[in-house]
Amino acid sequence: MSASSLLRTVRRALLPALSGLLAGAAGLSVAQLIAQFIEPNSSPVIAVGGAAIDATPTPLKEYAIRNFGTNDKHVLLTGILAVLAVLTMAIGIAAARRFIAGVVLVVALGVVAVTAELRRPNATAAYPLPTSIGLACALGLLYLLIRFRPHSMQTAGHNLTDDAAATNGVPDGPSGITVGSRRQFLITGAGVGAAAAVALAVSNVVTSSKSTAAARSKIKLPKATDPAKPLPEGVDLKVPGLSSFVTPNAKFYRVDTALSTPQVNPVTWKLKINGMVDKPFTLSYDDILSMPLVERDITMTCVSNEVGGPYVGTARWLGIPLKTLMNRAGMNPEADQLFATSADGFTTSTPTRIALDGRDAMVVVGMNGEPLPIAHGFPARMIVPGLYGYVSGCKWLTSITAATYAGKKAYWTQRKWDIDGPIYTESRIDVPASFAQVKAGIVPIAGVAWAQHRGVDKVEISIDGGGWQSTTLAATPGIDTWRQWWFKWEAKPGSHQIRVRATDSSGEPQTDRRQGTFPRGATGIQEALVTVS
């Protein structure tokens, strides 16, 4: 193919591709808008993205969490939109040659999306509606755009050719580009673009996240009947750069599979306690607020946290002990797991022998004096000190079912992660940051260490491979939280390596054996490299 004919082909493909893109954007916006009225998760992007997340092999998911962190969902959404952009352009080009080809491709796309939608947990018969209407709109708009495309840009010899231009009733201009048809194309295109923008804007206004946020902001939490003790003096060493003892809600790490944050209405929400129990029961949000509530400081950790990683945080939680709930239901002692279900279909399973052993395992409604933030599970979630979040921290909680491991498998267990998730003893250097450059002299080395429900008794550091030296530990309210530590370092010029290890109350120091996050959490010793000048 010569350069000039290649150029001609590209020019011919340009407007059809643009038409496909515009029609696709408009159709997607319409679908997005309709989804807000049905259920946000019925949006084609969210449903297909959710299906992609659930189907992603564990190692790839690990990779995504490691490399994109909490941004992993933006990366996925961007990827889906990029794929859609390419597909709609291809459909535009196909439709310009033979419109029926475009129709076939659009229907195929619809079948894929609708299949994914119907297979979402909690899917209803209405789930395919946004996609179907959106695709119908897109197809109609594509037809108009292709039809009103300037004459010279049409592909000779195919269906919408001279006839189409003729029916438009516009004479050919000198260059073969008819002024009228170009204007018609531009007007149609601009109209479609504007319609897409309006549909998106309206869908943003009606989106239920606003009403959930409004409902949440009206809630006034009661005081705990069993409040947390005031934090002891000196839990915060106040070294600049060191994580604060209490992690502010806005800074608390977030890890979940939810592509769009579940919006749960606290007025209609119910928590079911059922399964292997004598007296199943249901609680409303107000029922929970009127029960005796306990308040505790607990550190949460994610199993996907790398050595030295950020997925750990401490908050003051307000809730009802799981024991109170399961005793009231009369749990059958044969039940070996509490199987919790989220509003978005995600599930966790927690061993009953741990959840009900007397530790402060709870259904929580409050976090640091506020109703649970929406991203952290509003209106209610579970928390169990000592277990990683994936086996204990079900957010947007809707039911707790007493069950057996033999009978039911939770989300991550189905994906081969360990059934039990006890948190390893871990420590992290916050300052100096790795690869930091500091001035010679006295430099504080400081960080946090955690061994939930065993407690941190000692933190040591080793500089440049030397012997382990004790650090100074901050005060702690108990064994279920992390603990700050610091060391007064006389830093000499040069490049230095700092390592840290914690020892829990059993006397067992943190292992130096390197292990990745899958399938039961990472182990090893963090090494920070610092340049002193």
Ligand X SMILES: Nc1nc2c(c(=O)[nH]1)N[C@H]1C(S)=C(S)[C@@H](COP(=O)(O)O)O[C@H]1N2
Q: For Mo ion, which is the closer residue by CB, 255 or 463? A: 255
Cα 501 to Cα 467: distance, rounded to the nearest angstrom = 12
Task: Tell me how far, at minimum, the Cβ of 464 lies from Mo ion, in Å.
Answer: 34
Q: For ligand X, which is the closer residue by CB, 105 or 264? A: 264
Residues near Mo ion (CB under 5 A): 255, 302-303, 389-390
Cα 226 to Cα 329: distance, rounded to the nearest angstrom = 22
The token pair that represents 437 in the structure block: 């450059």
Beta-ladder partners of 428: 448
20: left (phi over 0), alpha (psi -120 to 50) or beta: alpha
Binds 395, which of ligand X, Mo ion, none (CB < 5 to 8 A, cut-off by type)?
ligand X
To 10 degrees, what angle do helices 44-55 and 72-97 make? 120
Binds 72, which of ligand X, Mo ion, none (CB < 5 to 8 A, cut-off by type)?
none
Beta-ladder partners of 531: 437, 495
Task: Tell me how far, at minimum, the Cβ of 377 lies from ligand X, in Å.
Answer: 6
Evaluate whether 321 touches 362 at the Cβ level (below 8 Å): yes
Q: For ligand X, which is the closer residue by CB, 339 or 489? A: 339
Evaluate whether 142 touches 20 at the Cβ level (below 8 Å): yes
Span of 219-227, 341-349, 439-447, 521-529 interacting with ligand X by CB under 6 A: 341-349
The SS3 assignment for 267 reads: coil
Query: What are residue 15's phi and psi, to 5 degrees?
Result: -65, -40
For every residue of 286-318, DSSP letters joined together read: HHHHTS--EEEEEEEE-TTPPTT-S-EEEEEEE
Cis peptide before 422 (omega within 30 of 0): no
Binds 116, which of Mo ion, ligand X, none (CB < 5 to 8 A, cut-off by type)?
none
Q: For ligand X, which is the closer residue by CB, 29 or 368? A: 368
Task: Tell me how far, at minimum, the Cβ of 427 lies from ligand X, in Å.
Answer: 19
Binds 399, which of ligand X, Mo ion, none (CB < 5 to 8 A, cut-off by type)?
none
Task: Tell me how far, at minimum, the Cβ of 86 lies from Mo ion, in Å.
Answer: 33
Task: Tell me how far, at minimum, the Cβ of 312 lies from ligand X, in Å.
Answer: 9
Q: Does 346 bind ligand X (CB under 6 A)?
A: yes
Cα 2 to Cα 140: distance, rounded to the nearest angstrom = 36
Q: Is 121 exposed, middle or buried, given 0-12, 13-18 or 19+ CB atoms closer than 10 A?
A: middle
CA atoms within 13 A on the CB side of 499: 13
Task: Tell me how far, at minimum, the Cβ of 76 lies from ligand X, in Å.
Answer: 14
Give the count of residues interacting with ligand X (CB under 6 A): 19
Residue 164 CA: distances (Å) to CA of 143, 300, 471? 11, 65, 82
Q: For Mo ion, which is the closer residue by CB, 308 or 389? A: 389
Task: Tell me how far, at minimum, the Cβ of 282 lies from ligand X, in Å.
Answer: 19
Q: For ligand X, which is the closer residue by CB, 329 or 380? A: 380
Q: Does 361 bind ligand X (CB under 6 A)?
A: no
Q: For ligand X, which is the closer residue by CB, 148 or 411? A: 411
Q: For ligand X, which is the closer residue by CB, 188 or 341? A: 341
Binds 252, which of Mo ion, ligand X, none (CB < 5 to 8 A, cut-off by type)?
ligand X
473: left (phi over 0), alpha (psi -120 to 50) or beta: beta
Binds 257, which of ligand X, Mo ion, none (CB < 5 to 8 A, cut-off by type)?
ligand X
Q: For Mo ion, which is the closer residue by CB, 319 or 393? A: 393
Cα 309 to Cα 248: distance, rounded to the nearest angstrom = 18
Evaluate whether 480 touches 299 at the Cβ level (below 8 Å): yes
Task: Tell me how far, at minimum, the Cβ of 304 lies from ligand X, in Å.
Answer: 7
Task: Tell me how far, at minimum, the Cβ of 368 lies from ligand X, in Å.
Answer: 12
Q: What stretches of 237-277 adopt beta strand conformation (E)? A: 270-275
The SS3 assignment for 458 reads: strand
Binds 393, which of ligand X, Mo ion, none (CB < 5 to 8 A, cut-off by type)?
ligand X
Task: Tell me how far, at minimum, the Cβ of 311 lies from ligand X, in Å.
Answer: 6
Q: For ligand X, which is the closer residue by CB, 129 or 522? A: 522
Q: Spell out the residues 6+ positions from residue 482 whose beta carbon is closer than 8 angstroms to its own.
A: 245, 299, 312, 314, 448, 449, 450, 456
Q: Spell out the residues 6+ positions from residue 183 whose beta carbon is closer than 8 angstroms to its own.
A: none
Binds 246, which of ligand X, Mo ion, none (CB < 5 to 8 A, cut-off by type)?
none
Nearest-CB residue to ligand X?
389
Beta-ladder partners of 445: 487
Task: Tell me how far, at minimum, the Cβ of 533 lies from Mo ion, in Å.
Answer: 39
Evaluate whether 506 touches 456 at the Cβ level (below 8 Å): no
**What does the per-residue mask of binding to ligand X show for 261-300, with x meaning CB under 6 A?**
---------------------------------------x
Q: Does 522 bind ligand X (CB under 6 A)?
A: no
Q: According to CB under 6 A, which residues from 363 to 422 bind ligand X?
A: 376, 389-390, 393-396
Q: According to CB under 6 A, which residues from 245 to 264 bind ligand X?
A: 252-258
Q: For Mo ion, which is the closer residue by CB, 160 or 303? A: 303
Task: Tell me how far, at minimum, the Cβ of 263 lies from ligand X, in Å.
Answer: 13
Cα 474 to Cα 484: distance, rounded to the nearest angstrom = 5
Binding site for ligand X (CB under 6 A): 252-258, 300, 302, 342, 344, 346, 376, 389-390, 393-396
